[in-house]
């Protein structure tokens, strides 16, 4: 098993890059855990300075061996999640084996008194059927889907380095970085929190970007694009490289904190996305106006077109007014809902629900603000186009983020080794 895992990873690198990786591992990790503790504390020190709570998925084998370290950081407020038992590719494992391994990891975290609400598979390699097992074990979220920012240009890198980038990207089932793919999604009781790429592994080890100013520029451009689309940006930064990106991280947090951004742990985003889904909006059309009543989370914002109804009591002449604590009257000739056809694809239902748009089956004799196209495939391209189109209409929509924030950001980073021996044991032993 260990030789197979090692062989798989070597295929994602060129010969030169594999040698460089071995050399970098020998420098980053020490025989003892002291060097890594310094990295982890430096990471914590930067994020804590900006009141940011990072989330570190950790392999259970490493947690069991170094549990005291993780309890100390947990007491400091750091969040942890499960990262498998060992750092191996689980995507080809049988379901019964995955079920046993996940149960084992949950028990180790519980035994060591480390709170973990979520799961990220090593190498972001997984199978969608695994979600049912995570739900069965009482976990709340997974973070395995990836979205790749489109701002990397092959003309800026050496040919061999670009090939190493392409090799690792080929191992991910990555979606394009856009206004739709950036949002969390709910599958049953599990919230999926997508990971944004490129991460530090890609930028530093694959593309060999060593200037922290350049690393910052890439990550900051990712933030600008996500914030513009009201998205969720889940950065991945491995603590083993903290000293190689610490200045970039601090500069990034400085810029993020200047904007209306909800910067929180993966646990917080998962809880919010479920809380948001419980919001109930009742719409009653009348002769001259529409009465809208909201119940559920008090942190939810309700929008009518570009107006946030819950953020103000004054309509400023735009055709609405608050008539109660959670009730509004909207004046207009159309019902501020999306009318959908009887034959409506489930993919489109999930799409509209995730974006917060309110819809109902098309009823004859009623005038809606927007009528959903009769025949349109639920492709990625069509979802992006439709999201842009819907923004032009005066439609009721449940806000994406709580308390008036425009977008959301999380900082996460996987831990699979504390010292050199931990790293070597990734490729030996049993699950």
- Domain segments of the chain as ranges: 2-259+408-425, 280-403
Per the model's pLDDT, the better-predicted residue between 323 and 391 turns out to be 391
Question: Between the CA of residue 319 and those of 36, 283, 307, 357, what are the distances in Å?
Answer: 59, 16, 10, 19
Give residue 180's pLDDT.
Answer: 75
Task: Take residue 270 and report the two structure tokens written for it.
Answer: 């998962």
* Burial class of 422 by CB neighbour count within 10 A (0 to 12, 13 to 18, 19+): buried
Query: Among all chains, which residue has been given the structure tokens 């077109």?
Result: 305
Helix (H, G, I), strand (E, B), or coil: what is residue 228?
Answer: helix
Q: Return the CATH number of the domain spanning residue range 2-259+408-425.
A: 3.20.20.370
Give residue 239's pLDDT.
Answer: 97
Give residue 2's pLDDT.
Answer: 46
| Centroid of chain to Cα 430 | 30
Torsion of CA 345, 350, 355, 359, to 10 degrees: 60
pTM: 0.90
pLDDT digits over 178-198, tens only? 767 889 999 999 999 999 999
Q: Please give the DSSP secondary-structure letter assigned to residue 194.
A: P
Give residue 365's pLDDT.
Answer: 64
pLDDT above 70 coverage of the chain, percent: 91
Please state which of the ranges 37-51, 86-100, 152-166, 375-389 shows the lowest mean pLDDT. Answer: 152-166
Give residue 397's pLDDT.
Answer: 95
- Are 233 and 363 in contact, with CB atoms under 8 Å apart? no
The band of 6, judged by pLDDT with boundaries at 50, 70 and 90, is: very low
Give residue 154's pLDDT.
Answer: 82
Helix (H) or strand (E) holding 9: helix 2-10
Helix (H, G, I), strand (E, B), or coil: what is residue 332?
Answer: coil
* Burial class of 100 by CB neighbour count within 10 A (0 to 12, 13 to 18, 19+): middle
The band of 15, judged by pLDDT with boundaries at 50, 70 and 90, is: very low
Helix (H, G, I), strand (E, B), or coil: what is residue 304?
Answer: strand
Strands (E), 37-145: 55-58, 79-82, 116-119, 141-142
Per the model's pLDDT, the better-predicted residue between 416 and 16 turns out to be 416
Give residue 39's pLDDT.
Answer: 97
Is a pLDDT exceeding 50 seen at residue 106?
A: yes
Average pLDDT over residues 90-95: 90
pLDDT digits over 154-185, tens only? 888 888 888 888 888 888 877 888 767 889 99
d(CA 17, CA 23): 10
Per the model's pLDDT, the better-predicted residue between 306 and 24 turns out to be 306
d(CA 100, CA 93): 11
Rounded mean pLDDT of the chain?
89
Give residue 318's pLDDT.
Answer: 65
From edge to edge, which strands make up the β-sheet containing 320-324? 280-285, 289-295, 327-331, 320-324
Give residue 78's pLDDT.
Answer: 98
Is a pLDDT exceeding 80 seen at residue 384?
A: yes
Is a pLDDT exceeding 90 seen at residue 29?
A: no
Is a pLDDT exceeding 50 seen at residue 3?
A: no
d(CA 139, CA 121): 13
Per the model's pLDDT, the better-predicted residue between 281 and 311 turns out to be 281
């Amino acid at each position: 098993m260990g030789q197979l895992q090692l062989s798989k990873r070597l295929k994602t690198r060129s010969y030169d890059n594999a040698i460089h990786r071995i050399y970098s591992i020998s420098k980053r990790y020490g025989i003892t855990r002291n060097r890594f503790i310094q990295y982890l504390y430096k990471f914590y020190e930067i994020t804590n300075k900006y009141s940011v709570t990072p989330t570190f998925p950790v392999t259970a084998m490493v947690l069991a061996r170094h549990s005291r370290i993780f309890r100390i950081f947990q007491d400091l407020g750091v969040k942890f999640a499960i990262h498998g038992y060992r750092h191996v590719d689980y995507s080809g494992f049988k379901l019964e084996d995955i079920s046993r391994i996940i149960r084992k990891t949950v028990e180790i975290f519980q035994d060591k008194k480390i709170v973990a609400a979520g799961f990220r598979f090593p190498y972001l390699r997984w199978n969608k059927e695994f979600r049912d097992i995570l739900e069965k074990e009482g976990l709340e979220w997974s973070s395995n889907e990836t979205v790749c920012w489109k701002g990397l240009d092959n003309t800026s890198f050496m040919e061999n380095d670009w090939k190493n980038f392409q090799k690792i990207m080929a191992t991910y089932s990555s979606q394009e970085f856009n206004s739709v793919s950036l949002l969390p999604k709910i599958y049953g009781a599990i919230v999926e929190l997508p990971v944004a790429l490129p991460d530090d592994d890609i930028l530093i080890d694959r593309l060999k970007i060593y200037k922290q100013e350049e690393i910052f520029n890439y990550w900051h451009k990712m933030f600008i694009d996500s914030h513009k689309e009201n998205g969720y940006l889940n950065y991945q930064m491995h603590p083993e490289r903290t000293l190689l990106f610490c200045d970039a991280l601090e500069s990034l947090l400085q810029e993020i904190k200047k904007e209306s951004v909800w910067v929180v742990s993966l646990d917080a985003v998962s809880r919010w996305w479920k809380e948001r889904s419980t919001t109930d909006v009742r719409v009653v059309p009348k002769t001259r106006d529409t009465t809208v009543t909201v119940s559920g989370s008090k942190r939810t914002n309700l929008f009518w077109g570009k107006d946030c109804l819950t953020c103000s009591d004054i309509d400023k002449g735009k055709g609405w007014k608050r008539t109660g604590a959670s009730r509004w009257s909207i004046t207009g000739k159309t019902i501020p809902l999306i009318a959908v056809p009887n034959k409506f694809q489930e993919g489109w239902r999930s799409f509209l629900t995730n974006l917060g748009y309110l819809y109902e089956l098309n009823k004859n004799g009623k005038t809606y603000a927007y009528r959903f196209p009769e025949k349109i495939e639920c492709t990625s391209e069509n979802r992006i186009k439709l999201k842009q189109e819907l923004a032009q209409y005066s439609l009721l929509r449940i806000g994406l983020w709580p308390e008036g924030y425009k977008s959301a950001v999380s900082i996460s980073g996987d831990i699979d080794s504390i010292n050199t021996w931990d790293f070597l044991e990734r490729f030996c032993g049993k699950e």
